[in-house]
Amino acid sequence: GQQLNQSPQSMFIQEGEDVSMNCTSSSIFNTWLWYKQDPGEGPVLLIALYKAGELTSNGRLTAQFGITRKDSFLNISASIPSDVGIYFCAANTNAGKSTFGDGTTLTVKP
């Protein structure tokens, strides 16, 4: 089946540092999404990407839809303590089914 390989699995960084995480797949997708989940809460959408090559920013977050349609990355610049959480990539097929990566757990040390 379709699988997303998300890396890294976890990151421990210092406040102020930049963060980069990515998702890859052997399958082609039409939409890539990045979510953040705080403990005990549902995932919250950060960025949605709809076209191959698209680069989109949301504040300190930047994400790109890979040109091959098989990958995407998320960058967080100048991290702050509230960036702590689990970041998930997700990708949609034409049928609307979403596949999720296993998540990247981010810890930010003040």
Tokens 């949301």 belong to 58
C-alpha to C-alpha distance for 14 and 110, rounded to whole angstroms: 6
Q: Which among 45-53, 56-64, 66-74, 75-83 is the span making contact with other proteins, rule CB under 8 A?
A: 45-53
Indicate which single residue of 14, 26, 96, 110 sits in contact with other proteins (rule: CB under 8 A): 96
Q: Which among 15-23, 29-37, 57-65, 73-81 is the span making contact with other proteins, rule CB under 8 A?
A: 29-37
C-alpha to C-alpha distance for 84 and 75, rounded to whole angstroms: 14
CB of 35: closest distance to other proteins in angstroms?
8
Half-sphere exposure of 29 (CA within 13 A, CB side): 29
Contact 22, 74 (CB under 8 A): yes
- In the complex, the residues that contact other proteins under the rule CB under 8 A are 29-31, 33, 35, 40-45, 48, 50, 88, 90, 92-103
